[in-house]
């Protein structure tokens, strides 16, 4: 039931792009994306519903393929502030989206 994230870790140079993937074995109601910096609480980035593309920050966007039960987070022209662990949270159709199950996270490091 826990979604699977890939890759587990990625290291970038400032200005490079990255894609983080999230997949589920069950039918999804929605997908959330969060970023957590070390020692801090997760911070909400965006929510995707019913196959739409949601744009959060200027250079962070995401897609949701409802049929494949997959979501991808796109970070373009990465900045040092993008470093942290990214979690996807999935809400299932069978629970009418009432709660989130989180993946294990993708650790993103952006170097100068």
> Which residues bind to other proteins, rule: CB under 8 A?
1-2, 29-30, 32, 34, 40-44, 46-47, 49, 87, 89, 91, 96-105
CB 14 within 8 A of CB 81: no
Question: In terms of C-beta density within 10 A (0-12 exposed, 13-18 middle, 19 or more buried), how is residue 1 classed?
Answer: exposed
CB of 76 to other proteins, least distance (A): 21
If the CB atoms of residues 12 and 32 are measured against other proteins, the closer one turns out to be 32
Structure tokens that stand for 51 in this block: 């196959």
CB 46 within 8 A of CB 55: yes
CB of 108 to other proteins, least distance (A): 15
If the CB atoms of residues 41 and 58 are measured against other proteins, the closer one turns out to be 41
If the CB atoms of residues 76 and 107 are measured against other proteins, the closer one turns out to be 107
Question: In terms of C-beta density within 10 A (0-12 exposed, 13-18 middle, 19 or more buried), how is residue 67 classed?
Answer: exposed
If the CB atoms of residues 19 and 97 are measured against other proteins, the closer one turns out to be 97
CB of 2 to other proteins, least distance (A): 7
């Amino acid at each position: 039931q826990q979604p699977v994230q890939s890759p587990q870790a990625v290291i970038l140079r400032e200005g490079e792009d990255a894609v983080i993937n999230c997949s589920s074995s069950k039918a999804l109601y929605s997908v959330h994306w969060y970023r957590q910096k070390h020692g801090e609480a997760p911070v909400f980035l965006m929510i995707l519903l019913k196959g739409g593309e949601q744009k959060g920050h200027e250079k962070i966007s995401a897609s949701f393929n409802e049929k494949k039960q997959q979501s991808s987070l796109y970070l373009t022209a990465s900045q040092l502030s993008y470093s942290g662990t990214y979690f996807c949270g999935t809400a299932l159709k069978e629970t009418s989206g009432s709660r989130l199950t989180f993946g294990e996270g993708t650790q993103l490091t952006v170097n100068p």
